[in-house]
Structure 1
Amino acid sequence: MKKILLLLLTILSISSYAQMPKSILPKPGSVSGKVVDVNSKEPLPYVNIIIKDAAKKVLTGGITDENGLFNVKNIPEGNSIVEIQFIGYKTVSKPITINRDN
């Protein structure tokens, strides 16, 4: 009985890794940059970077480091919107397009 149970668990674990669902596969794009204050030209740390699709649904996001730098990965192919949000500042939105250029 133990051998059958062990064999069954082994088969189930192997078959669960046979194909990865699309949601787990890596996305093709990334966005990076630096956020600075327009007047003082000083970098802004810990600013929220939000990536949304055309329907304004949040896809992914990130935050700037101490030097205002960010790198948001795993952005799906197509048109998206980058929103930069920081307390005390007006939210900035910019359209972007991610495509697979070989």
Structure 2
Amino acid sequence: MTRLMRIPIAHPAGKVLLRQIKAWRNKFFVFLTNRDVPATNNISEREIRPSVVFRKVTNGFRSEWGAQIHAGYRSVTGTARISGQTALSAIRSLVDGTFVVA
């Protein structure tokens, strides 16, 4: 990776990408030293899949706030499911101000 990062870059977008890679470099191969971290992002891909399908079926969101509401709902209910809670109990906890990630 170090050798690849030393290759001269001419395009401005490539320079931006290189800067981002340098900033996140120590996060790329965590799975090699920590066996609890999966080597793929399959879990993340599965988590966002329902939102992608929803967006495609409804032809996108008509407003920014609608997209934000949907993202917030999916985040809370997805976190609840992973933590062993029901979506309803998580939403109630969020409204009550007691929502805690286990």
Tell me which of the two structures has the higher relative contact order, counting C-alpha pairs closer than 8 angstroms and 6 or more residues apart: 1
Larger radius of gyration: 1
Q: Which has the higher strand share?
A: 1
Q: Which has the higher helix share?
A: 2
TM-score relative to the length of structure 2: 0.20
TM-score relative to the length of structure 1: 0.20
